[in-house]
């Protein structure tokens, strides 16, 4: 039997009991290899600043990735394959994330599907995740480029919508009918 792309990358382990039946899907068993980071005290300040940003970036990228996969799981109702009756139950029983956090990650993931410039700028490290989260509640495909440029030179507090209005004077998603 040929390996799937996931098995070849080490992302799944085939279940020998299920692989004998060619009509059944192989059971997904993640092969987690925890990343162990070497932590060093008393680094020179430029190195310390760099380490802090690198750690923050890994956390941000993890949130983007989790939002992407949670959205896919919810849309396809794959949580049922995990013997969960709802997305909410899956999040509560199968993740360490709160339902509120998961819902927000999905909101951002959905918005980024319509905002490819913003998604790309984040992927390239040009935007902070906190700015992306804030902008996805107000940006539209029509004003996305302006928001991305604005975010590159303003603090996230200047980007956050206040009272439903976008601070940089651009029309919000709600007012644009999105």
- 20 within some domain: no
For residues 73 and 135, membership in a common domain is answered with no
- Among the candidates 60, 80, 113, a domain finishes at 113
For residues 67 and 123, membership in a common domain is answered with no
- 34 within some domain: no
Q: Tokens 């998604």 belong to which residue?
A: 119
For residues 101 and 153, membership in a common domain is answered with no
- 29 within some domain: no
Say which range, 52-56, 70-74, 97-101, 158-162, has the weakest mean pLDDT.
158-162
Name the nearest CA neighbour of 15 among 33, 30, 28. Answer: 28
End-to-end CA distance of the chain: 47
Q: Is 51 exposed, middle or buried (0-12, 13-18, 19+ CB in 10 A)?
A: middle
Give the separation between CA 97 and CA 109, rounded to whole angstroms.
Answer: 16
For residues 90 and 141, membership in a common domain is answered with no
Residue 4's Cα: distance from chain center in Å?
24
- Among the candidates 98, 113, 128, a domain finishes at 113
Residue 11's Cα: distance from chain center in Å?
18
Give the separation between CA 96 and CA 25, rounded to whole angstroms.
Answer: 27
For residues 131 and 83, membership in a common domain is answered with no
pLDDT by residue (tens digit) across 139-154?
999 999 999 999 999 8
- 139 within some domain: yes
Give the separation between CA 104 and CA 71, rounded to whole angstroms.
Answer: 10
114 phi, psi to nearest 5 deg: -95, -5
**Considering its fold, how many domains does the chain have in total?**
2
pLDDT by residue (tens digit) across 61-87?
999 999 999 999 999 999 999 999 999
**Bridge partners (DSSP) listed for residue 162:** 165
What is the number of residues in the chain? 178
For residues 100 and 52, membership in a common domain is answered with yes
- Among the candidates 64, 83, 113, a domain finishes at 113
pLDDT for 51 equals: 97
Q: H or E stretch including 49?
A: helix 45-76
- What is the number of other CB atoms lying within 10 angstroms of the CB of residue 92? 14
Give me the domain span that covers residue 177.
115-178
- 176 within some domain: yes
- Better pLDDT: 53 or 157: 53
């Amino acid at each position: 039997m040929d390996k799937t792309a996931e098995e070849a990358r080490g992302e799944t382990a085939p279940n020998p009991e299920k692989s004998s039946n060619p009509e059944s899907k192989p059971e997904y068993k993640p092969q987690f290899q925890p990343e162990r980071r070497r932590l060093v005290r008393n680094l020179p300040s430029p190195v310390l600043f760099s380490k802090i940003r690198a750690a923050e970036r890994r956390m941000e990228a993890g949130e983007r990735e989790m939002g992407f996969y949670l959205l896919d799981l919810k849309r396809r109702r794959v949580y049922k394959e995990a013997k969960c009756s709802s997305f909410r139950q899956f999040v509560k029983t199968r993740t360490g994330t709160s339902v509120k956090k998961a819902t927000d990650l999905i909101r951002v993931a959905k918005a980024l599907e319509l905002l490819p410039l913003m998604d790309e700028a984040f992927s390239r490290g040009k935007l902070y995740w906190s700015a992306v989260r804030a902008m996805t509640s107000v940006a539209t495909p029509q004003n996305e480029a302006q928001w991305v440029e604005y975010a590159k030179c303003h603090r996230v507090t200047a980007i956050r919508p206040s009272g439903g209005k976008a601070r940089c004077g651009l029309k919000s998603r709600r007012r644009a009918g999105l």
